[in-house]
Each structure stands twice: as structure tokens, then as C-alpha cells.
Structure 1
């Protein structure tokens, strides 16, 4: 029975990642063991679940239909185990997707308290400023800023953070301090995930001001944009929370603080149509409570 459950978990992951070996490694299985379990599962089911080539494995039509049911069963089993324990104890593996800044500044400092509450739970942080694929990467919950690119995900509004502009005192002494949004056209503005558009829009007293910005540096990680602003490479856009430590230390100062630069919504994303894993729900509730204090 235990082999069958392991085989189902292996099948579900292999069906998403398209590879027996990587799916097996997640479960601590060798490639040979993974292949044997999948073959035994197909024999038990009485259907070919995967089409195999030398480079990859893909689900057959029967495999696609089977996967939908298996994922629902595994999620329900996880929920049932959690409720049966009746202690609130979380077990298994929780895979969390998060942008770099949010991981370093908001999640990791709060992890010790959550881990202490749930010592049997293993947590994998998938830290990247790109939007992960929740399904193929097996992510249980992903925290993402701004517009949501994945319509197949179920979103839960998390928090909203003001978007701000910052620069180092040295940069402003050398290049001058902008007093109007139009002044940004004459400054080096660092392009980053916090605001990848070349047009910045601001509001003040019912007025809207837009300016097209330019700069020598574009960077794919928002933490890099903040670090670049600290050393004087230009003006950086970020959430207020992402630059809080540098602002408090005086390494950065606000630029155009009297103008509203909008806000960045943070959403918790879950795979649509799947039962939310108890650990994902608990971790999301925990972070919301912590950040709202």
C-alpha cells in the first residue's frame, strides 16, 4: 500500500515536470526505483500513462485524465491526515514561491517562529523574481507582486505596499534632487521588476503627471536595483518595505515623496481547482497576521 501511495505521488510530479528522474529525486528515489514504480502503477491501472522518448516523458490522454483525479485524491488525503491529527501539526513538504526582496526582508526573518510551531514540516523556498509556473514546479503557494500573469491560479489578496522612488544622498548631491516628475527625464532611473515600464505616472492634488524615463542600468532582480541605488548608480523604484532598512539607515532617501507613485498589491497564488494544502493555508494565514501587526 505504501508503494502505491509513493507511486501516485511520483506519478503526479512526473506528470507535471515531464521527467521521472527529477520527480524521483524529490521523493528520495533513484531513477531505477522511479521507473519501476511507474511501470508497476501502469500495470495496476491497466493503461499506459506516459509516452516515453529518450529526452522526456509526456502524459498520454489516459494519463492526463488520471492525473486530474490523482492530484485531487492526494490533496484530499493530505487534508484528511491534517484533520485526523487534530493538533494543528503540519507535516510533509511546503513549496513556497517568492520574489527575492520579499523572501529576504519579509519571509525569512519570520520563518523561525513558524518552523518552531511546526517542527515536522519541511519548507522549500523557491526564490526568484520571475513568475514561477505553479503546476510544473509543484509550488503550493506563491507570493507575487503586481499584475497576475497566470489566469489558471487562484489569488488571495495579501497586502498592498506603496511604491516609492529612492536614491542615495551621494547621487542626489551629484545630480540634483528631482522636485517634479518631469525632472526624472534628466536622471538615470534603474529599470527593475518593481516597475519595468518605461513610463512612470504620479498623482498629486488631483493631477496626473507621466514621464518617460531612461537609464544606463536594467536589472532583473529588485534587490539588485536597491543595491545599485545605494552605491549611486541611479534612482530606483521599489515597494516601501523593500527599501525600509536602507531608508532607516540613511543609505537611501525618498525621491518625490509628495507625489503618489501608486502601490504594489501582493497576492498569494494557489493552483486553481486544487484543494489548498493545509501547510500552504497555514503559512499564508501566519504571514498575513505577522505583516498586519
Structure 2
């Protein structure tokens, strides 16, 4: 790997993690060597790419713009290398962004086979129940739920998953079992990322029923909503995937199972469009096959 290419890869990683030492270590470089390469790159480009303090390094405005351009170029180079090898072997780093619940329940249990098939690939899981910025966080593929805002990212639909209401048997023993959507007005409903609106809508036999619920508890992560429901704090809305283990164990039971609570769309987003990393496409294909199976 020549110095120029090494410097560009180092620059991108340092821009992501805000630390020359960490970025250098990932590329097998010492901290002094990493600092020298970045300084040489700045001299060659003709401008400062980083602001340096004793605690961290951050991108300048020029550095942020440069990173977006170089990231796309490195992705295209990765694609060319992959095609030239012709072996299907995946190398380098793959950054996957999605919700904490999806990482814990759907991705991590399926990772062993994928990583065994691609031992030279390094995977980074960035989990956050709030939307992640694919560009600034350097995410190669993100999995998102629900409607998507306008974006320059390439979108590929993965699947639709059913939304459900769940509650602990202990809660229902005390508060009673809802038989109609209107009954929810007299229950404690946990608001989480799967349903942020206090108005719930249902369908059954061509009818639409809507109810405004009382929400004494709001949580920002889906795992928190599920845990709260298991603890007997109320009725929680989630995707059926997110509550599958608890439903199968009996820790939670379905509420209003005869009413259609709608579904949530799962999409894969690729920030670089046609220059998407081969590893990002391969993982999306792998996960899509696993989920549909």
C-alpha cells in the first residue's frame, strides 16, 4: 500500500473517530507515523484538514468536504479490487448502522456465519434508536424502520414487519384485558420509538378504529419499551420481531391480536449509491435472505 493511499485511508478513519492513534492502530501505524502521514497529506492538499487540540482532532470545513469525496473514491476503489480478485472475498471495514434492538435481536445472532465466510472483513456495529447521519458517521449500510426522510442515499426495501401491542400477564391480571381499541384509553400505554404518536389506529373487517392513549412512560429505545412491558408497567407497541423472544417465552402476550395494528417497513440505505462497498451489498443480501427465511 503506497503512502498516498495509506494517508487517504488514515485520513478517513481519523475523521470518523477523531483520533490519529486509533485510526493509525487500525492500519498498523504508530501514532507518530500517523501524524506525519496526515501532515504530509495536508501539505499536498494545500489546506488544514483537521483542528488539533490536546484532547481530540476534528475536521475543518474543508476536511469534512474532502472526506465525503475521498470516501466515495475509496469505495469505488474497493469495488474495483473486489471485481479484480474475482473470488468473492470481502476485506476491509464494514460499518453497519441501525437501532439497538435490531442489532441485538436480528443482526448479532446471524453474524457468526457471515463473519466465518468473510474472515478478512472487520465489522463495526453502530446502534442508535435515533436516526444516524450516514455521511458524518461513515456508515456503509444502515437498516431503518418506517417512513424515510428525503435523502440522497440509495434505498433497498428489505421487508415489512407487523406491529403489535404487548403486555405482561401480571399487568393484564390487574388492569384487565382490552377487547376493543377504545379500551386502551383506560390503560397505561408505553410510548417508544416504534410508535411516537399518542393516537393508535387499528383495522378490522374494513373498519378503522382510532383511540388516544394515556402514556405515563416514554422511552427512547425499543429495548426499553419491551423491558418496561415485561416489568408490568403497561402496554407497549413494537414490531413483532422486537418482541418475539418475550412472546415465545410467555413474558409478554399479544393485546388486541384480532385487530390489525399495521406494519413497519425495513429498508437498507447505502450512502454512496453506485459506489457502495461490495461488503455493504453482500451483508444486505445476506440479512435479507436470513430474515425472509
TM over 0.5: yes
Q: How far apart are 1:15 and its partner, in Å?
A: 4.7
1:168 aligns with 2:153: no
Distance in structure 2 (CA, Å) of the matches to 1:103 and 1:18: 24
3-state DSSP of counterpart to 2:218: coil
Alignment of 1:106-255 (within 5 A): 106-149=106-149, 151-255=151-255
Task: Using the TM superposition, name which of 32-41 and 72-81 deviates more.
Answer: 32-41
Q: What TM-score comes out, normalization by structure 1 length?
A: 0.90
* Distance verdict in 2 for CA 1:38–1:274, change over 3 Å: farther
Task: Using the TM superposition, name which of 272-281 and 157-166 deviates more.
Answer: 272-281
1:36 aligns with 2:36: yes
Residue deviations 1:73-130 (CA, integer Å, cap 9, x gap):
2112111111122111111111111212211221111111111111111111112212
Task: Using the TM superposition, name which of 234-243 and 92-101 deviates more.
Answer: 92-101
Aligned length: 291
Q: Is the 8 A contact 1:49 1:60 kept in 2?
A: no
Q: Is the 8 A contact 1:191 1:217 kept in 2?
A: yes
* Distance verdict in 2 for CA 1:260–1:52, change over 3 Å: same
Partner of 2:275: 275
* Distance verdict in 2 for CA 1:127–1:58, change over 3 Å: closer
Q: How far apart are 1:216 and its partner, in Å?
A: 2.2
Q: What TM-score comes out, normalization by structure 2 length?
A: 0.90
Distance in structure 2 (CA, Å) of the matches to 1:27 and 1:292: 37
Distance in structure 2 (CA, Å) of the matches to 1:128 and 1:259: 30
Q: How far apart are 1:210 and its partner, in Å?
A: 1.4
Distance in structure 1 (CA, Å) of the matches to 2:157 and 2:207: 28
In structure 2, the gaps of 5 or more residues are: none
* Distance verdict in 2 for CA 1:57–1:106, change over 3 Å: closer
Alignment of 1:97-108 (within 5 A): 97-108=97-108
Alignment of 1:19-30 (within 5 A): 20=20, 23-24=23-24, 27=27, 29-30=29-30
Distance in structure 2 (CA, Å) of the matches to 1:19 and 1:51: 10
Q: Is the 8 A contact 2:72 2:272 kept in 1?
A: no
Q: Is the 8 A contact 1:189 1:214 kept in 2?
A: yes
Distance in structure 1 (CA, Å) of the matches to 2:250 and 2:163: 18
In structure 1, the gaps of 5 or more residues are: none
Q: How far apart are 1:229 and its partner, in Å?
A: 1.0
Partner of 1:48: 47
Partner of 2:2: 2
Distance in structure 1 (CA, Å) of the matches to 2:242 and 2:96: 19
Residue deviations 1:35-93 (CA, integer Å, cap 9, x gap):
31122113334x114263647544455x5664454223211211111112211111111
CA-atom RMSD in angstroms: 2.3
Distance in structure 1 (CA, Å) of the matches to 2:232 and 2:61: 55
Partner of 2:261: 261
Q: How far apart are 1:19 and its partner, in Å?
A: 5.9
Q: Is the 8 A contact 1:170 1:232 kept in 2?
A: yes
Distance in structure 2 (CA, Å) of the matches to 1:65 and 1:15: 11
Q: Is the 8 A contact 2:198 2:215 kept in 1?
A: no
Q: Is the 8 A contact 2:199 2:213 kept in 1?
A: yes
